[in-house]
Amino acid sequence: MSTLSLTTSAGGMPSLSLPSSVAHSVWCAGQMATAGVLVTPSGWPALDKELPNQGWPHRGLTELLIRQTGIGEIRLLQPALRRVAGRIALLQPPHAPQVATWIDWGLAPERLLWIRTQRHADLLWSAEQILRNGSCGALLLWQGSLRNEAIRRLQLAAQASDIVCWLLRPLSLADVPSPVSLRLALQPREQGLQIDVLKRRGPPCATPLLLTWSSLHGDRSFFTDGHHHALLDRRLPATTTASSVATALV
């Protein structure tokens, strides 16, 4: 028979000492959950601080609500994808992923797996099979119209597997309750990404997080160099085929 004891620590905060088997699943509302689960560090120190266990959870679904496709959502996940072992399955992505970018990021192209499904039921089935099989390291799933039962089912499957699983949905669904344990809203900013933590196992996150692309280590691109101050617009280049125009003027 195990006992619970409530003691008062020096700071005046009551601290609960629990049997070690359940300690990780109970936490105070003001604290961040420290479940004994595996995480993959996101590669963004500022973001890691705001995530329970300092990283993307291996067990459980993470919901990313994005304003539109192409705001830097994969760039955000790129450091984590680099750390994850095994293949990365892209399930129903909105556009064709470009392999050249992937190689440019220093990731092996053999690790990509692109799955396209025709029907909604097939999509959920495929996601569940990938999670259950466990031979992939990460799963990215794009689907806007999911019923809560389906998400709950995915969440349970993700909890049973050791796969980092992201569900990408439009930002308009931010007000709709969702059973996933970690929800982030992503919005594009001038040189980075604004992240609102909508839901996590921990205290609510009041201030949005701002990540700038220049903090991404080892990245060399127009994102990071050049326009650090104000955006200097370039003139539109003149049309080069002007020969016919000249004759028209005569």
Residues that bind other proteins (CB under 8 A): 67-75, 85-87, 93-104, 106, 108-110, 112-118, 122, 125-126, 129-130, 133-137, 187-191, 221-223, 226-227, 231, 233-234, 236-237, 239-241, 244-245
Q: Cβ closer to other proteins: 31 or 68?
A: 68
d(CA 211, CA 76): 9
CB of 36 to other proteins, least distance (A): 19
Nearer to other proteins, 176 or 248 (CB): 248
- Of 86, 74, 83, 80, nearest to 47 (Cα)? 80
Q: Which is nearer to other proteins, 12 or 109 (CB)?
A: 109
Tell the smallest beta-carbon distance from residue 147 to other proteins (Å).
Answer: 21
- Contact at 8 Å (CB) between 198 and 184? yes
The answer to whether the CB of 214 falls within 8 A of the CB of 223 is: yes
CB of 208 to other proteins, least distance (A): 14
CB of 163 to other proteins, least distance (A): 9
169 close to 118: Cβ distance less than 8 angstroms: no
The tokens describing 58, both together, are: 């291996």
**CA angle, corner 207, sides to 198 and 82, nearest 5?**
65
C-alpha distances in Å from residue 111, one per residue of 62, 76, 95, 119, 219: 21, 18, 18, 25, 21
Instruction: Quote the distance between the C-alpha of residue 212 and its chain's center.
Output: 16
- Which of 94, 203 has the CB closer to other proteins? 94
DSSP state of 53: G
Cβ distance to other proteins smaller for residue 18 or 115: 115
Number of Cβ atoms within 10 Å of the Cβ of 167: 24
Tokens of 13: 């905060």
- Comparing CB distances to other proteins, the nearer of 69 and 172 is 69
Minimal distance in Å, beta carbon 37 to other proteins?
Answer: 16
The least distance separating other proteins from the CB of residue 10, rounded to whole angstroms, comes to 42
